[in-house]
Structure 1
Amino acid sequence: MKSLQIQILILFLIYSNQAIGQNKPLEIKDYARWTRIVTATPSSDGKWFAYALRPNGGDDTLHLKSLTDGILKRIPFGLNPSFSENSNFFSYFTKPNKAETEKLKKGKKPILQKAYLQSLIGGDSFEVESANSMDFSSDEKYWLVHRQKEEGDKESHKGSDLVVYITTEGKSFVIGNVSEFALNKKSSHLAYIVDAKDKIGNGIYLMNLTTMSTNVLDSDQKSYLGLVWDDKESKKKEWSSKGNRFAVLKGEKIDSLEQQVNELLLVSEIDGKPVIQTLNSENPDFPKQFVISEKSNLRFLQDGSSVWFGIKEQEIKFKADKDTIPNVDVWHWKDSYIQSVQIVRANRDRNATFSSIYLFGQNKFVRLSDDGLKTVLSSGHNMFKIGLDEKPYISDINWGVSPADMYRVNVKNGERILVEKLVNRPLQQSPDGKYYLYQKDTSIIAYNLETNTKINVSSKANIKFMDLEHPYPHEKPPYGVAGWTKDGKNVILNHKFDLWMLALDGSKAENITKIGDKEEIRFRHFKLDKEEDWIDTKKPILLEAYGEWTKKNGYYELKLGGNPAPLFYVDAMIGSLQKPEKAEKLYFTKQTFEEFPDFFTSDSKFGNIQKITDANPQQGEYAWGRRKLVDFTNSKGQRLQGTLTMPAGYIEGQQYPTIMYFYEKMSDRHHAYSMPVYDDRPHFSTYASNGYMVFMPDIIFEEGKPGTSSLDAVTSAAKKLIELGYADKNNIGLQGHSWGGYQTSFILTQTDMFKCIVTGAPPTNLESFYNNIYGSSGTVHHGIMEIGQVRMGRGVTPWTHREDYNRENPMRHIPNIKTPFLILHGTKDGAVDWGQGLELYNAARRMGKEVIFLSYPNEGHHLSNEANQKDFQVRMKAYFDHYLMNLPAPEWMENGVPHLNKLYDKVK
């Protein structure tokens, strides 16, 4: 027997070497050589580019590259790169490597970062130990670093050193005991809070950065927090007119009360003698038994006339011996939210506040939200906001929708006007907050908050803006909003392929891209300028483009009235497009299955393209596959597509062992690079490198028939691969995870077409799963079962439609299993309860089926521990190698692993 196995192994190695030529096959031991690019950051003048390379299981190396002369600086363990406004300075952190970090964690010692500043014009540098955060002033004259408290300082105060470095002078000074700091955007003033030992010197301080003088604005033996300038959310064009006032909370904790007692301080007229206005619970409009809460952030309305904050009901602290109190959760049928949801959301609900406004010009308090209307949306409008009341529609069946009644709320007096009952599909507010767009039935409605009028802006269009192909059985969603025109007269909506401009008065609807439907290219507006909230239709409009069937990707330019013209449209996936503020340059990634998504730069029209990173040059040493698109139809004649990964050294006409991996629509990943990483998915690069084909087919689901639909699509796809001469019909395996795990588990019970199956975190029993809890959110699965991913249909339950559930339930068909299969599941899965995998294992084991259950203690829906990830990658490949490549089975597959032989438990 061993002799035969050795012969097979030799033949496989010979075949592999012939197939892949001189390049070596990729193995998991090689994964450590692969790196990904993180924190890619160009300077505003386009002359510098910073990025970090993060290897699998390793430490980041920050790179700073000059795009003028190509000089590259490598910074071990560097992170969080940042350039100053005028690109004259570069800053970053460094931290201990992973090994040292783990050692510090085990020793319960602080993990300290170091902050660095480097001049890009003179070569000078400056560094700060024990750095917590850092920031440049907008004029780049100052670099500020907030340090962590000194090790060993166990005092309760929050303050620590703030280091201020003057870049123009190369000098620095330190401000002690700072807990918070903030510069206004025009860099004229620095406000900071002192929180010192024994509260001595606690207060608000203001430094004039022109005169370098400091004023103590308020000082008390209380706590100050929540510092915010009125220009925090402003555009650059507004900076000169704002940054003249800020707000902060001042409060104290009282031992007998749950909530800290705060007052709101508003500081204005900072260029002269600063004026402080105060709001507290003594204001005549302030509700009794409430406090201003530090659990909600302060922010200014757009015009700077008001401060938005949260209030919370005060409570007396409940003090008792826990041993004398029963520990019981009462699950009641009248609960709005099931107890498990309440438990998961307990901390969030405990910290929830009600939105309120302080109109400091009138010294007036206005409450905006309460138990009857908990949600009030922020917007750019200074008088009216949108409020949403979800309470009438709370249901276990809601999935993918949050139905609510919609109100207009007046922030000047709190007045509410009902706008629309039952809105399932809100869309977007206009940048100035004047309009709120939502879908009602099949129409798109623009609500004018100023005039309290509703206009059906889609009435002149000969199409519906709903995604009628949306795969779930609930109200179909709209395709979304592209943007609002700068003249304030139109909104631009997405359709399946084209963009439509709809007049906000309902008078006109126009397809402005025209060719999308005809050429089956999906056009979407792409915003390059982060400062621009509107679409200027007098200028060329940048569009992202994607070919539905070709998978081409890139960018077009649209001049209103004409057809979109391609700028850069290629057979690849383009991403991470960004433009530096002060240079006519673009940065983007380009990837295919064979090409890692490195960064490229070009001019503003995608001309003169140059590659500027090379993250994984070692790939050239390895055998690598390629991809092609394959069209097929299911039994109903519906056109489907999949992406086929061809093995390295593919020989035309030769049939190969094949793995099919699926979920829903997968062909969109055609150009996705298959990064070798540690996780629990099959990596197509590895399998292709080792002589496999991998196919990812698209699946169309019929309501009420999730398993049957998948069976149809997957078997149709397999038959097509066999017909085309790609797949070896005797050596096809399946792999799916989560929703794909349900599908693989169902297919397992319906056909013996596949040689082996690997199913991960699978819902296996539709009846018990229906009443399971989604552990991470606490929600019951009724919604996902009826109108969500499982899509059995609204009101279709295991008791009303028993036959349908039995037909689609893998657990009802266990005796039919003829295929060996492997189950992966983590015991702490917060999406699909571990018991689902256990049910399938126990039933199959009882019926004498060939099943192995890989159960990973304390792992979630996906494996997160690196050792476990590597373990599963090795076991999954060995499983496929044995069944699809006829390689010898390892001992754990043949005979299992007795618990007392488990290596993890042997470690002392």
Structure 2
Amino acid sequence: LTDRDDRDNEAPDFALYVATDGEASARASLGTTGLPSGWAPSDEGSVSFSESGQRVFFGTTDAPEPEPEDETPEDERVVVDIWNWKDPYLQPMQLLQRSQEEDRTYQAVLDLQSGRVVQLATEGIPSVSVADRGDGSVALGTSNLEYRQLVSWDGRYSDAYVIDVEDGSTRQVAEMIRGQARLSPGGKYVTWWDGFETAWFAVEVESGQKTNLTENLGVPVHDILDDHPDALRSYGSAGWTEGDRAFIVYDRFDAWALDPSGRAAPRNLTEGVGRQSDVRFRVIDLDPDEPYVPTDSDVYLTAFHLYTKASGVYRDRFDGNTAPERLVMDDVRFAAIRKAESADVILYERSTFEEFPDVWVADADFAGARKVTDANPQQDEYLWGTAELVEWTSTDGIPLQGILYKPEGFDASQEYPMMVYFYERNSDGLHSYTVPAAGSSSINRSSYVSRGYLLFVPDIPYAIGYPGESALDAVVPGVLGL
């Protein structure tokens, strides 16, 4: 992008140039066929290529007008905020987002082979993503313009549209979605989570047919422990298999392959092993450049035991004939798992409350693991402490878990001051490492334990509308049972 042809103007217009063999030529500018009247490329937008390099995406907006010169003395200028109760956003949010809105651009695309320019995003449909890493024939457009006012008392909604990348024509495929619509990698389906119906939905782009993908699954795909007075959260999705043939979602334990057309029955990819063993499986994305989850090669899974809080890594193959194989499982936290591009070497972080998350390496079977960093040796100079999982029953009979942090060298025959931090559920973080730091809204575990405090962090299941009573029913018997 450059304004070299118009740089002498007070508000110069930018143009998109393409250089080939050292020769550069303007391919999109003010007045180019395919751009709205009065629109031009904007230096506020980003420029990117599609995966094949045959398309260039760039941002456009109304050609800027020169700002009128204000001759009023600065000490006499008055700043007034004008707003209306019917505004889409409240005035404080308008002021907060003012610069973002002033710099907003709308995505357009240049086809390098034909030279055709197509405006994809518009003021009515401001957000656009193109299928097949930018090379697809369709794009997904979303717009929240009709529902912005609802943010103040309800939630975030949007409409979804399919956009023809060849001519910019649009077709609405979903209305008032509570959540984020996504386009499948091949551009055949649009999917989204509905937290009110607690279901995953898909729309076939070609036919417009809408399908409830999880209607006949038989197990919940919403977070059964989510006790917020709002639309329920899903357990998430892992993406798609090759050719958009199956959409992969999670229940509390396992991964499922769903036919986006709704014709084939759901298939449990992890063979129900997660539910049988109280282990939560999630797919590890070892190749961010690969848009699909493979079904003909090994897939690595994170594993987390919901009750012991142990974690590890399993290996599976989503071909319908293989059960997950345990590679490693331990009372630690595994994170940031990566595989070397051209070698059978795994890189990962391992930590506990006491053990800093250093980097480890192992082979593809997680054998021969060894630590390769020592990033926090200064911890040896400080008292630290331990973290212990505790269990009890709430006043209303619910089995609960929590974490009891103990000072280093804890002696059960001695008395210690104890603090209780109570907020939602935290026991899954038993093996999380806490860097000592000052905190504003939550307590820093390691800081207080290092100073000789016992720290109790109980899980709290909330009854909607009764947060105080719920906390009392969970915390008091937990404290008394220590």
The aligned counterpart of 2:70 is 320
Equivalent residue for 1:369, pick from 117, 121, 124:
121
8 Å contact from structure 2 (residues 458, 475) kept in 1: yes
- Pair 1:357-2:357 in alignment: no
Map of 1:234-253 to 2, 5 A cutoff? 252-253=6-7
Q: Which amino acid aligns with 1:572?
A: V
Residues 1:284 and 1:587: Cα distance change in structure 2 (over 3 Å): closer
The aligned counterpart of 1:566 is 326
CA distance in 2, matches of 1:288, 1:619: 63
8 Å contact from structure 1 (residues 427, 481) kept in 2: no
What SS does structure 2 have at the residue aligned with 1:712?
Answer: helix
CA distance in 2, matches of 1:511, 1:362: 45
Q: Which amino acid aligns with 2:390?
A: V
Residues 1:597 and 1:365: Cα distance change in structure 2 (over 3 Å): closer
Residues 1:286 and 1:558: Cα distance change in structure 2 (over 3 Å): closer
C-alpha displacement of 1:527: 1.4
C-alpha displacement of 1:274: 5.0
C-alpha displacement of 1:646: 1.8
- Pair 1:685-2:446 in alignment: yes
C-alpha displacement of 1:654: 4.5
Residues 1:253 and 1:276: Cα distance change in structure 2 (over 3 Å): closer
- Pair 1:650-2:410 in alignment: yes
The aligned counterpart of 1:715 is 476
C-alpha displacement of 1:345: 0.7
The aligned counterpart of 1:15 is none
Deviation string for 1:144-193 (max 9, x for gaps)? xxxxxxxxxxxxxxxxxxxxxxxxxxxxxxxxxxxxxxxxxxxxxxxxxx
The aligned counterpart of 1:492 is 248
CA distance in 2, matches of 1:487, 1:390: 30
Higher RCO (Cα < 8 Å, 6 or more apart): 1
Map of 1:372-771 to 2, 5 A cutoff? 372-380=124-132, 381-395=135-149, 397=151, 401-426=155-180, 428-440=182-194, 441-486=197-242, 488-506=244-262, 507-513=264-270, 514-560=272-318, 561-652=321-412, 654-680=414-440, 682-721=443-482
If the length of structure 2 is used for normalisation, what is the TM-score? 0.89
C-alpha displacement of 1:427: 5.2
Residues 1:321 and 1:626: Cα distance change in structure 2 (over 3 Å): same
Deviation string for 1:807-851 (max 9, x for gaps)? xxxxxxxxxxxxxxxxxxxxxxxxxxxxxxxxxxxxxxxxxxxxx
8 Å contact from structure 1 (residues 427, 480) kept in 2: no
Deviation string for 1:299-350 (max 9, x for gaps)? 2334444322222113242221354543111232111111111111111111
Identity value in percent: 29
Q: Which amino acid aligns with 2:16?
A: L
Deviation string for 1:528-580 (max 9, x for gaps)? 22332222212222100111111111101123433322111100111122222
Structure 1 unmatched ranges of 5 or more: 1-223, 226-248, 722-908
8 Å contact from structure 2 (residues 106, 120) kept in 1: yes
CA distance in 2, matches of 1:451, 1:301: 26
Structure with the bigger percentage of helix: 1
With 309-318 and 439-448 compared, the bigger mean Cα shift is at: 439-448
CA distance in 2, matches of 1:468, 1:677: 33
The aligned counterpart of 2:47 is 298
What SS does structure 2 have at the residue aligned with 1:387?
Answer: strand
Residues 1:253 and 1:336: Cα distance change in structure 2 (over 3 Å): farther
Map of 1:137-176 to 2, 5 A cutoff? none
The aligned counterpart of 1:281 is 30
8 Å contact from structure 1 (residues 250, 265) kept in 2: no
RMSD: 2.6
Q: Which amino acid aligns with 1:716?
A: P
Map of 1:105-184 to 2, 5 A cutoff? none
Q: Which amino acid aligns with 1:466?
A: H
CA distance in 1, matches of 2:478, 2:451: 22
Q: Which amino acid aligns with 1:318?
A: P
CA distance in 2, matches of 1:264, 1:645: 59
Q: Which amino acid aligns with 1:355?
A: Q
Structure 2 unmatched ranges of 5 or more: none
With 532-541 and 605-614 compared, the bigger mean Cα shift is at: 532-541
Deviation string for 1:855-895 (max 9, x for gaps)? xxxxxxxxxxxxxxxxxxxxxxxxxxxxxxxxxxxxxxxxx
C-alpha displacement of 1:687: 3.4
Residues 1:326 and 1:620: Cα distance change in structure 2 (over 3 Å): closer
C-alpha displacement of 1:454: 3.2
What SS does structure 1 have at the residue aligned with 2:30?
Answer: coil
The aligned counterpart of 1:880 is none
8 Å contact from structure 2 (residues 161, 171) kept in 1: yes
Residues 1:379 and 1:656: Cα distance change in structure 2 (over 3 Å): same
Deviation string for 1:442-469 (max 9, x for gaps)? 4322223344433333244223422243
Q: Which amino acid aligns with 1:448?
A: E
